[in-house]
Each structure stands twice: as structure tokens, then as C-alpha cells.
Amino acid sequence: MRASILVLGPLLARFGEAHVAMPGGCNIGSRKIDLHLRGLERMGATFHQEHGVLHARAERLHGAVVSLDYPSVGATENVMMAGVAARGTTVIENAAREPELADLAAFLTAMGARIDGVGTPTIEIEGVDRFRPVEHRVIPDRIEAGTFAIAACATSGEVVLAGARADHLDLVLSKLAEVGAEVLITEAGIAVSMDRRPRAVDLVTLPYPGFPTDLQPQMMALLAVAEGTSIVTENVFESRFMFVDELNRMGADIRTEGHHAVIRGVERLSAAPVRALDIRAGAAMVIAALAADGVSVVEDMYHVDRGYEDLEGKLAALGASVRRERALEPTRTGA
């Protein structure tokens, strides 16, 4: 799993050593862990890799100025978790600003950590020696909420996202309103409905607070049936468009040119056997299948299961005709 690397900083801070299997995750582009390692090296850690395992040591982590080449969420989290227990002050420059990072900081602060600047490009962390146990409620999953909102729009339906945080989905909700959805924000959550064919819109993915790359495939499925031509620019992962051939198999008219995808909306998609190539692409194929005429089969759903809990059950509760045929094993190639 991609998130396995996130135990590196906490283990080093607490035990002075860590042995972590090299992470996997979705094959959507170059997501090297060099930002994590360089940040922790600045704090006194040393690393070597052997037989697919990353070995790390640190006598005692110390504060440092860590300048990230890119505002990586994972690298910011790793350095933050290491910094709260390091000796001295750690400063993260060009830090990520995602809500999940702010939630982590709130959790650590409740435990006794000293963290300033969360939500800005510069985070300052003062190491402490002791932490206290706390109870913490994790924020709602904004990507899951966005996925269901987009699914409602693609099927001319409606959904109430109970507990969802509109302030975490500002740009997404704005884009859905732009395609023609009715968006109602209340204290209880977000209501999204659509009673017409969506309008074409352009969108550009960027780190938060920009449009999230993790909702780009789902939006592409929606825009595939929009009236007009849309242009999607992907600035985060260079291989995020790998699923386009699967959408085109269902009758979509999408052409990719480098980091851009030109989507000429069609009136209807047609059922077809398709594959989930990664978590978000799989969610996009499910949305496309819901919007298509006929019965579609989405294979390799194990990808989707890594990012969504009981997706088909929640969709069925909303009125979708969807079921899990059987537990599918990962497709294997080669000897």
C-alpha cells in the first residue's frame, strides 16, 4: 500500500529505527519517496534499501529546515510526525495544505504537540518529549463525498452527503454548479441534484485548494456525457489518463494530448466490459456504467476497494442497480 511509508517518521522518532517495505499503490505516475527521505535525512536519519525493504536509523532526530520541491501531502505528514518528537524546531517550507494534513495536525496538537502555520506553505513544529492519549474523530472523506456527488450528476439523480464538509470541496462544488447541478449546503451536509444534461466545463487539477486530482477521473466520466467540449488539464500525475481507453470503449469521445484531455460530450454511453485500472479510475468506470445504456461489468474492483468502503452497497441504497458478482483476484500477467 502507498501509505506504508507514513509509518517511517513516527517509528524513527519513537524507536530510532524502522524497517519498512517499499510502498506500492496505484500506477498513475512517478510518486517517488525521495521527498520523504530527504526531509528525514535533514533531521538526522540514514537509510539503505535491501531486498525491497527500506532500513532507517537515527540516534535522535533533530529539528531542521525542510524545503520540499513539491507540496507533497505524504512528505509533509511524515516530517510533521517526526518533527513533533524531534529535538528542537522543524520548519517545513512549501508544505502541503490539504484538509487531511490539518486534521492530522489537530490530532497531534491535542496530544501535546506544538505546531503552527498549518494551512499555509510554512509549518513550524517545536519538538516535545511527552504526549497524552486523546480521542479524535477523523474528518469526512472529501474524495468519497465528491465521488457520490459526481455520480448523482452523471445519472440525473440526487444525493444528500450527510456530514460532508463543503469547505473542503469548494472548487468541486463550484464545478458541479457550473455543469448545471443544484448544490444546497446546510448544517447537516451537502445536497446535490441534477435534472438535465450536464454542460461542458474546463478544469485544471492542482494541489489543494485546487481541483483534486483524485476526482479528475470521476469528472471525466461526467463530462463524457456533457453537452459541448471540455478540456481537462492534469498537473499532478502524468499517467492519470490511462483509463481514457476504457471510457472510450463505452462510447466516450476523448482524446489525450500530453497533460490535456479533450472531451467531446456524447448523448449516451453504451454498456461494455471495462477494467478498473486504479482506485479513482475504477470509481469513474462505475459512474460511467451507471450512466450508460445496458449492463456493464467493471473488472479488477480490488483497486476500488482500497479507496472506498462498500461502494456498491452505498450506490444500491441510493437506488442504483449494482451488485458484486464475486470477489475477484488481481489480474496477473507474465509467468
Which residues, 6+ apart, have CB-to-CB distance to 56 below 8 Å? 8, 11, 12, 17, 18, 19, 20, 40, 45, 46, 47
Q: Is 26 annotated as catalytic? A: yes
Sort strands 46-50 and 53-57 into parallel, antiparallel or unpaired. antiparallel
Phi first, then psi, for residue 275 (nearest 5°) are -120, 150
Count of other CB atoms within 10 angstroms of residue 220: 28
Q: Are 247 and 266 in contact (CB under 8 A)?
A: no
**297/126 Cα distance (integer angstroms):** 52
Helix (H) or strand (E) holding 123: strand 122-126
> Exactly one of 6, 26, 145, 236 is catalytic; which is it?
26
Sort strands 253-257 and 229-233 into parallel, antiparallel or unpaired. unpaired
Question: Residue 65 pairs with which residues in a beta bridge?
Answer: 91
Count of other CB atoms within 10 angstroms of residue 118: 23
Annotated catalytic residues are 26
